[in-house]
Structure 1
């Protein structure tokens, strides 16, 4: 039996990383269709930073604690749950609350740990896997043989997107901002474009343009993305590090028959997330278990050092995922 209180990291003061503070909270109680997870590791993601800064509020009913993905052991099941039993090891997409010793989530948003992966590696999967699969495969409709460009190639999402696209038979290009990062994306099968030295528009135009672009930058990249898309190309937006506004010539969209779309994951319905989870079980988890898609971990921090983990992410020097160790394997 576990205590009714737990350690957690809360956003005591919205703003910089110093606003994160360790605190005590009641252990959450799983409701109908929910499970309670004793967290081993929690993934750190850009939305956590945005929430800490005060620009990404949790949806109604979600925990105010940051943390959108975690791995651990099921220690409680709510009414109506048949998929999981106490003692099962899972990786879970959370609505919030991952920076804590315990968290609850919808039972259908948890997945078994892929064979061969540790809990540490598994904690890096849910947020990135849900995001990449729903945007690159489902929304972006990536097909074998197509030319796929991903911006931010060494982010957790970027590295997942490169590997998924390669496994599906696409040709992949990725932008990165240093020789080290370019080497990292080359190592997992992408052609690197160093955006500090090269123009991705020129590079992709020489290849015939991109069929699909996954963009997390926004701002000045938006019109450049439109310019370099091939006929019937698709642009999928998932974040706006440079901001969400740009001036566009919509004639280019009409003439080339382009599709411009995007999504955010956290506000989607439980049913929508459950559908993505099923697709991951059916199609992505086998790719992970075969070794075609791997997890790259940049760094690990103790739960109490979450502020340092955020500083690492904000410095943009990371290659792959940043994780918090809560209780370990």
Structure 2
């Protein structure tokens, strides 16, 4: 089979021939039809001290199952998070991380919706939104952000502000329900909001907290780091809440599954529209990473093995 790999920090990515992996105990062997490209994986290629397996969201057909698998069988269509080599023709997926893909959805729909949607859904849950409140979503045109702004509206937000890195993304986020669009470098982000979902971190934390109304909540789910000054929280009785999807997946599987079902329900009803910026062939993985690095994507970037 074909597989994308790299040998040193920063790349380059290259295609190689590799043996088809075997499904171990509790695992599924999946023929990959779509692979989601994520910012955390792109960052690790650039920053990790040692090369990593290029994993992430995959979707496709189960071709073999390992000992102890009970929920799936060969021929089923699944999606899930692969922790090994996912940029490949075949990948191994642990049963606990897999979920079925409805017959009405494509593999591309699945990788654009499920993992990014779960992060967006969980971050929104952490914000404890109330109907009629106002929301701010940073990285609003990203794979997670464009779903988060739609979910905020579904959950009753009366006003949704989208923060984007480029003014050229304004039309896209407005088409998905944003009432207002602000650039990261804007000196004023408008009327304060009740809660913010921040996927950027770093230097953007300060203006995001400043955009909160008194008593406002910011949910930080970015891998971008950053520092929050205690004084900025004290003066407005504001709070920052950290959210990590892995803790839910490992510690609350029933909640994780409930959220997945809700995402598919909203998708089926047309209330949630995952957008795909572009699809790339496996051999063009470096170009796909370049789109994510440049922050030019409108929605999800997908590889098609």
| Fold match by TM threshold 0.5 | yes
TM-score computed with the length of structure 2 as normaliser: 0.90
In 2, the alpha carbon distance for the partners of 1:181 and 1:121 equals 21
Structure 2's unaligned 5+ residue stretches are none
In 2, the alpha carbon distance for the partners of 1:75 and 1:44 equals 23
CA contact (8 A) 2:116 2:144 kept: yes
Q: Which residue of 2 aligns with 1:254?
A: 234
Q: Which residue of 1 aligns with 2:133?
A: 146
Instruction: Pick from 12, 25, 37 the counterpart of residue 7 of structure 2.
Output: 12
TM-score computed with the length of structure 1 as normaliser: 0.84
Residue 255 of structure 1 and its aligned partner are, at CA, apart by: 4.7
| Aligned residue pairs, count | 304
Structure 1's unaligned 5+ residue stretches are 1-5, 59-63
Deviates more, 1:87-96 or 1:292-301: 87-96
Q: Which residue of 1 aligns with 2:243?
A: 263
In 2, the alpha carbon distance for the partners of 1:225 and 1:269 equals 25
CA contact (8 A) 2:249 2:256 kept: no
Residue 131 of structure 1 and its aligned partner are, at CA, apart by: 1.3
- 1:204-283 → structure 2 map (5 Å cutoff): 206=191, 209-239=192-222, 241=224, 244-246=225-227, 248=229, 250-265=230-245, 268=247, 271-272=250-251, 274-283=253-262
CA contact (8 A) 2:248 2:256 kept: no
Q: Which residue of 2 aligns with 1:81?
A: 69
Deviates more, 1:222-231 or 1:70-79: 222-231
Residue 157 of structure 1 and its aligned partner are, at CA, apart by: 0.8
CA contact (8 A) 1:175 1:200 kept: no
CA contact (8 A) 1:43 1:70 kept: yes
In 2, the alpha carbon distance for the partners of 1:273 and 1:182 equals 36
In 1, the alpha carbon distance for the partners of 2:147 and 2:163 equals 14
Q: Secondary structure at the match of 1:123?
A: helix
Residue 226 of structure 1 and its aligned partner are, at CA, apart by: 2.2
